[in-house]
């Protein structure tokens, strides 16, 4: 008989440990209680290798293989809060599925989530987590994320979880009127978390803070 997967966690993956994380996020300025509730209930330890599970609720990025990382919880919350602050989008496109953690957070807050990943090994693991958590509303695609998902555009929001050197215009073009894109822009060591909103006569850009992300790469592997 297959071992039952524990979604609740014990010890360093327990609910008490998760609550300490969300308390820290509040102290750092995350005020959206919906986001905090979702992050407190989501088993982040399922998104890393078992050897790192005891560190899952630290406010730090963690490796997930393929030279990629699971983003720091504060950054996940910050990016999500920035998008929701402009109104709840009906649909969102995520560029860079990675472990699937950010995808799962979004899927509990937004009705329709589409996500694109260029590394097949990461996407396969993420899909298994979506199924385990019963999140059938997530749409996923194995492709070059720099291309977005033209067949499903326009999107009310786009979240990019890797850093292009400049704002990717092909993604901006897939925003709906009034839509927004959250993207870390810049070179390694000099990246800025940037919120771009499509307005009637152009685009409004706001830099939120300095960040550190893996680079946004093209192609598939």
- Say whether 71 is catalytic: yes
**Distance separating alpha carbons of residues 146 and 2, to the nearest angstrom:** 39
Catalytic residue from among 71, 99, 114, 163: 71
- In sequence order, which ranges of the chain are alpha helices (DSSP H)? 15-27, 33-41, 73-84, 101-107, 120-132, 169-172
Structure tokens of 203?
């685009």
Radius of gyration of the chain from its Cα atoms, rounded to whole angstroms: 17
Quick one: DSSP state of residue 29?
T
Distance between terminal CA atoms of the chain? 34
Residues marked as catalytic: 71
């Amino acid at each position: 008989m297959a071992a039952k997967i524990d979604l609740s966690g014990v010890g360093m993956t327990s609910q008490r440990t998760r609550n300490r994380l969300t308390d820290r996020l509040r102290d750092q300025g995350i005020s959206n209680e919906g986001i905090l509730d979702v992050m407190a209930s989501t088993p982040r330890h399922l998104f890393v290798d078992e050897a790192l599970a005891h560190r899952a609720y630290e406010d730090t990025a963690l490796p997930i293989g393929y030279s990629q990382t699971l983003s720091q919880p504060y950054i996940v919350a910050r990016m999500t809060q920035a998008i929701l602050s402009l109104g709840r989008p009906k649909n969102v496109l995520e560029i860079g599925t990675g472990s699937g953690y950010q995808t799962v957070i979004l899927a509990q807050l937004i009705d329709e989530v589409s996500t694109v990943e260029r590394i097949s090994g990461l996407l396969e693991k993420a899909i298994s987590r979506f199924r385990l958590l019963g999140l059938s509303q997530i749409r996923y695609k194995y492709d070059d994320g720099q291309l977005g998902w033209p067949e499903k555009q326009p999107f009310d929001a786009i979240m990019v979880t890797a850093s292009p050197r400049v704002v990717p215009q092909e993604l901006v073009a897939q925003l709906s009127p009034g839509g927004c894109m959250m993207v870390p822009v810049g070179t390694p060591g000099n990246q800025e978390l940037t919120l771009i909103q499509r307005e009637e006569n152009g685009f409004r850009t706001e830099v939120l803070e300095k960040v550190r992300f893996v680079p946004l790469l093209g192609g598939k592997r």
